[in-house]
């Protein structure tokens, strides 16, 4: 597991635009947590690519920045340290293994629960890593914990 670090990204006036997270060389060595517009995200680097998603697992709010990354069924996945839920880094799909009783094979196959974890767009420009929050129009399961974090920090 990579070490993680908290990053306080620079404030931008354009809330929907890319937000600076850190230097590419630093983020390749360790994960970074950041708060963008009140939303806690985590940035991963795996097999030559950056990924960003909500930091808290859609299932029970587990800290994904502490999870291990594994390749499952050809996809890079973060494994939630609390309940071992598997989430694809690229799409935020929840994966599980199941047996189809209608098929003759009793070998479990990987299946998708659909998109459960909100992922965000990462860009690298001139050695700098930026994250743009995804479109918040559609509700995704991980929003519950992101919004819970936002709402609890507002009430303080």
Q: Could you tell me the CA-to-CA distances from 123 to 54, 71, 104 in Å, in that order?
A: 16, 22, 45
Are the C-beta atoms of residues 98 and 108 closer than 8 Å to each other? yes
Element (H, E) at 114: strand 109-115
CATH number of the domain to which 61 belongs? 2.102.10.10
How far is the first Cα of the chain from the last one, in angstroms, to the nearest whole number?
33
Chain-centre distance for alpha carbon 74: 18
Tally the domains of the chain.
1
Confidence (pTM): 0.84
Element (H, E) at 89: none
Q: pLDDT tens digits for the chain (156 residues)?
A: 444 555 545 444 345 799 999 999 999 999 999 999 989 999 999 999 999 999 999 999 999 999 999 999 999 999 999 999 999 999 999 999 998 888 887 889 999 999 999 999 999 999 999 999 998 788 999 999 987 655 554 433
93-128 per-residue burial string, b: 16 or more CB within 10 A, e: under 16 = bbbeeeeeeeeeeeeeeeeeeebbbbbbebeeeeee
Domain coverage including residue 62: 4-155
């Amino acid at each position: 597991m990579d070490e993680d670090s908290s990053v306080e990204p620079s404030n931008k006036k354009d809330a929907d635009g890319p937000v600076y997270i850190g230097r590419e060389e630093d983020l390749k060595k360790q994960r970074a947590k950041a708060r963008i517009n009140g939303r806690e995200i985590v940035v991963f680097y795996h097999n030559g690519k950056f990924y960003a998603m909500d930091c808290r697992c859609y299932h029970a709010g587990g800290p994904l920045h502490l999870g291990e990354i594994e390749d499952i069924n050809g996809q890079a996945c973060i494994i939630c340290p609390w309940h071992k839920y598997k989430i694809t880094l690229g799409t935020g799909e929840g994966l599980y293994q199941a047996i189809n009783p209608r098929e003759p094979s009793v070998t479990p196959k990987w299946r998708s629960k659909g998109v459960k974890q909100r992922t965000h767009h990462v860009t690298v420009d001139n050695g700098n890593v930026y994250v743009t929050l995804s479109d918040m129009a559609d509700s995704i399961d991980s929003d519950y914990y992101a919004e819970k974090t936002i709402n609890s920090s507002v009430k303080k």
